[in-house]
Structure 1
Amino acid sequence: MSTDPSKWKLNHTMLRVKDPQRSLDFYKFLGLTQINKIPQPEAKFDLYFLAYNGPSSRSPNHHWTDREGVLELTHNYGTEDDPEFKVANGNEEPGKGFGHIAISVDNIQAACQRLEDAGYPFQKKLSEGKMRSIAFAKDPDGYWVEIISQKPLEETEGVKETDTQSYRFNHSMIRVKDAEVSLNFYQEVMGMTLMRTSEKKNSNFNLYFLGYGPKPKEEDSANGVNPVAGHEGLLELTWNYGTEKQEGKVYHDGNSEPQGFGHICVAVDDLNAACQYLEDKKVSWKKRLTDGRMKTVAFVLDPDGYWIEVIQNEKMKRSANW
């Protein structure tokens, strides 16, 4: 029995939502397709899985576990009718930790204009702030959705069309207390590759992009375009200088109150072997395979206490009737 982390995939990111229909409408407007739904009426919640699934997508018609860049929306029954219910978007205290998800697009000006014309709000428009190459839209629950470009901005200037099926669910961002500790965990324990580092010394933070697969050959592509903008299923770690010196836990994991972001998920080649591998690496477990009723999922804790779900890639080995 063995496992090969190079065959693992950063499968999905889970967000809790208040009203599933409003959230589905928003993400489908961004070109995502619902590829699966797992109702859990006994536990009074439903899971919706969305991904880019068109002919020009990276993994069209793949099983939902055999993908990178999947978005899981979790709806607990009744929240849509509860005026007091509100998720934590991860960018405000209390509850600061998770930052955003990011969509890379073909023509960023046209993509942002389309969102604006549809009435969706922005945390930051392209024309605002110092960074004129990224924008942040807000979904119906207030989660930030970063919009980045797959092309040099001069190539898309004045272009009015945008093809949502060329979009990619590029990355999910979490803040980490100690960059060295987190980078070691995600590389040496979870088997990820450090794809790109972006140092923002003048602003006192660094960004690290990790994922499965080989590192891009060029650290920086022509015209300043992010060399991994066409990827899916990346994890962005944001380290603010000095947090490693603070006592105790710095960031919120999203699963204690106030709740919002739930977890990232890795799909593995052999679930039992992967869990034994992680056991040998002496990980901290939130839930082992043998714990609880669900014997087909496990949860590992990263150094900041964020949850990492571990599931079987069903293309590689059948284990569950998802």
Structure 2
Amino acid sequence: MATETSKYKLNHTMLRVKDPKRSLEFYKFLGLNQIQHFDFPENKFSLYFLAYNGPNSLQGDRHFTDRNAVLELTHNYGTENDPNYSVVNGNTEPHRGFGHIAISVDNIEAACKRIEEAGYPFQKKLTEGRMRNIAFAKDPDGYWVELIRRHNHDVGTTTDTSNYRLNHTMIRVKSAETSVKFYQEVMGMTLLKVKENKDAGFNLYFLGYPGSNPPLKNDAENPVAEWEGLLELTWNYGTEKQEGPVYHNGNTEPQGFGHICVAVDDLNAACSRFESLNVDWKKRLTDGRMRNIAFILDPDGYWIEVVQNEALKRTSNV
């Protein structure tokens, strides 16, 4: 069987967390539901998968591999009691790389007020800086969570987390041309939107898998804000001229962000296709003990996990 990239999904984004209790409390406060959980006591870590579930969500109650926009939290045992343990959030020098995850909300003013009243800190409030239409909250580990508007019509004065979307994951890239080409031609994504910020010296590129999202509403102020599972590439002008790697991939010490994950229609066929495209592998399917996942390296050395969409082809009992 051949593999069809039109059936791929940007399944999840993995973040390492110090204390899962605090992190789960925060993300559940933002309306995310825990949809899967794995413990690996022999390897001393646990995985928690969260997503927007329910009647108002885009994904409904699909299998956790048959979704866009899942958040995977990885907890290594003992970090919660280690006063010296902390993650890098990807936004501090010299470890910049991963930027943030973004949630599109029904009423951004009410959503920010609710988060602030709950005692959670902000990196940038709505009223701060030049951009008065976005805010950045901080999770318990200091990762940035961008808040954007889902739509531009009147939504009243309250906010309902069941209407939220886990919209995108942002990573910084050295060369926009190289990275956009990679995600289009190798990973099969579609370039949906480009936002140039010439005065500030950077551009934003939004990519995703249209086949697994609803049709775009072109009359919307920001059509892709209704979607889930987008990848935002941030290119700062001039970085492509620098020698060697520019950004931290989150997996070399000190650690933080781990990877993005693409769920595919046929794992073996997809990996054969990637092999034919001469990708850089972090882990082939046949490497190591876990023969049901692979990891590709993108042009900046970020890890891309590749897994089977179990709704399309059943290969396990999870």
TM-score range for the pair, normalised by the shorter chain length: over 0.9
Q: Pick closer, same or farther for the CA change 1:53–1:137 going to 2, 3 Å.
A: same
What do residues 1-55 of structure 1 show as CA deviations (whole Å, max 9, x unaligned)? 2100000000000000000000000000000000000111110000000000011
Matched, 1:155 2:175: no
Cα distance between partner residues in 1 of 2:198 and 2:303: 29
Cα distance between partner residues in 2 of 1:19 and 1:160: 33
Q: CA deviation at 1:60?
A: 1.3
Output aligned runs, 1:148-297, within 5 Å: 148-152=148-152, 155-156=154-155, 159-213=156-210, 221-222=219-220, 225-297=221-293
Q: CA deviation at 1:93?
A: 1.4
What do residues 65-100 of structure 1 show as CA deviations (whole Å, max 9, x unaligned)? 000010000000000000000000000012210000
Cα distance between partner residues in 1 of 2:281 and 2:272: 12
Give aligned-pair identity as a percent: 70
Q: Which residue of 2 aligns with 1:7?
A: 7
Q: Letter of the 1:13 partner, please give it.
A: T
Q: Which residue of 1 aligns with 2:100?
A: 100
SS of equivalent residue, structure 1 residue 102: strand
Q: CA deviation at 1:161?
A: 1.0
What runs of 5+ residues in structure 1 fail to find an aligned partner? none
Cα distance between partner residues in 2 of 1:170 and 1:281: 29
SS of equivalent residue, structure 2 residue 185: helix
SS of equivalent residue, structure 1 residue 87: coil
Q: Which residue of 2 aligns with 1:84?
A: 84
Q: Which residue of 2 aligns with 1:142?
A: 142
Number of matched residues?
317
Q: Letter of the 1:21 partner, please give it.
A: K
Q: CA deviation at 1:320?
A: 2.1
Q: Pick closer, same or farther for the CA change 1:60–1:179 going to 2, 3 Å.
A: same
Q: Which residue of 1 aligns with 2:111?
A: 111
Q: CA deviation at 1:199?
A: 0.5
**Cα contact 1:181–1:303 (8 A) shared by 2:** yes
Cα distance between partner residues in 2 of 1:57 and 1:77: 32
SS of equivalent residue, structure 1 residue 173: strand
Q: Letter of the 1:75 partner, please give it.
A: H
Cα distance between partner residues in 1 of 2:214 and 2:161: 24
Cα distance between partner residues in 2 of 1:204 and 1:120: 31
SS of equivalent residue, structure 2 residue 56: coil
State which of 294, 297, 300 in structure 1 corresponds to 2:296.
300
Q: CA deviation at 1:221?
A: 4.0
Q: CA deviation at 1:119?
A: 0.4
What runs of 5+ residues in structure 2 fail to find an aligned partner? none
Q: CA deviation at 1:219?
A: 9.6
Q: Letter of the 1:72 partner, please give it.
A: E
Cα distance between partner residues in 1 of 2:218 and 2:204: 14
Cα distance between partner residues in 1 of 2:205 and 2:215: 16
Q: CA deviation at 1:208?
A: 0.3
Q: Letter of the 1:40 partner, please give it.
A: F
Cα distance between partner residues in 2 of 1:233 and 1:179: 20
Cα distance between partner residues in 2 of 1:268 and 1:55: 25
**Cα contact 1:196–1:209 (8 A) shared by 2:** yes
Normalised TM-score (structure 1): 0.96
Q: Letter of the 2:4 partner, please give it.
A: D
Q: Letter of the 2:289 partner, please give it.
A: R
**Cα contact 1:120–1:139 (8 A) shared by 2:** yes
SS of equivalent residue, structure 2 residue 154: helix
Q: Pick closer, same or farther for the CA change 1:257–1:229 going to 2, 3 Å.
A: same
Matched, 1:120 2:120: yes
Matched, 1:316 2:315: no
Q: Pick closer, same or farther for the CA change 1:217–1:232 going to 2, 3 Å.
A: closer
Q: CA deviation at 1:148?
A: 0.2
Cα distance between partner residues in 2 of 1:180 and 1:105: 31
Q: Which residue of 2 aligns with 1:70?
A: 70
Cα distance between partner residues in 1 of 2:218 and 2:90: 29
**Cα contact 2:280–2:296 (8 A) shared by 1:** yes
**Cα contact 1:296–1:320 (8 A) shared by 2:** no
Normalised TM-score (structure 2): 0.97
Q: Letter of the 2:154 partner, please give it.
A: E
